[in-house]
Structure 1
Amino acid sequence: MIPTSVHGIMDYLTAILLIASPWIFNFYRGGAESWVPIGVGVVVLVQALMTRNETGAVKVFPMSAHLMSDIAIGLFLAMSPWLLFFHEYVWQPHLIFGLLILGLGILTRMRPANAAR
């Protein structure tokens, strides 16, 4: 199981990479293929900042809600090229990042190490 502190660091890194991915992986065209990872990256960043764990800045959301959200976000991002019909242009970054987020959501502990039981 992944500690919540590691998950938090991964959230920040993933968010930055998602926001920059249309340019890093050279698929920016201004359509859904570009805006989905940017939007998901912003959501991941805001969620990371607002989660009650070691890396959250404004501790609002419980870790359990964060992880459920990660599962939904990961599934959406992984399936977005086919749901939004841009799979013939690009699909690999969306699928890979989506599966990464999904895996983090499934494999991370529900409680931070310093949480009261």
Structure 2
Amino acid sequence: MRFIPTNVHGVLDYVSGGLFLASPWLFGFADKPAAKWVPVAAGSAALSSSLFTDYELGAIRKIPMPAHLALDVAEGVMLATSPWLFGFAKKVYMPHLLFGVFAIGAGLLTKTSPED
């Protein structure tokens, strides 16, 4: 059941994208290159896709909302599994796992079109 309105999802996109970008410095793993660059890339991708999504907070509105949500789920899977895929799980894994689960949840629970 999808219950998150698209305008709320938009706010979550920009806030979480910024948090993903800042997380290596906020949570103290900026000295671990792979662990650092995964959320930086994910945050950049999240912010970029948000700017191009056809929803209330999109600036350019070229990406349909269902495609945006599919990207969120794919990004979430990548984030959640990245500590093991890229071999840094023994150093840090919890921020990546939690961000990934959050992105998957947001992608699966957000409505596919704005409310009228």
Per the alignment, residue 45 of structure 1 pairs with: 47
Q: CA RMSD in A?
A: 0.7
Q: When the two structures are superposed, what TM-score results if normalisation uses the length of structure 2?
A: 0.96
Instruction: Please identify runs of 4+ aligned residues in structure 1 that moved more than 4 A.
Output: none
State the percentage of identical aligned residues. Answer: 46
CA distance in 1, matches of 2:45, 2:115: 24
Q: When the two structures are superposed, what TM-score results if normalisation uses the length of structure 1?
A: 0.95
Whichever residue aligns with residue 85 of structure 1, its letter is G
Stretches of structure 2 lacking an aligned partner (at least 5 in a row) = none
Deviation, 1:30, is: 4.8
Residue correspondence of structure 1 range 106-117 to structure 2 within 5 A: 106-114=108-116
1:71 to 57, 66, 73: 73
Whichever residue aligns with residue 19 of structure 1, its letter is L
Aligned pairs, number:
114
Stretches of structure 1 lacking an aligned partner (at least 5 in a row) = none
Per the alignment, residue 100 of structure 2 pairs with: 98
Does residue 6 of structure 2 align to residue 4 of structure 1? yes
Per the alignment, residue 64 of structure 2 pairs with: 62
CA deviations 1:52-89 (Å, max 9, x no partner) are 00010110100000001111000000000001000000
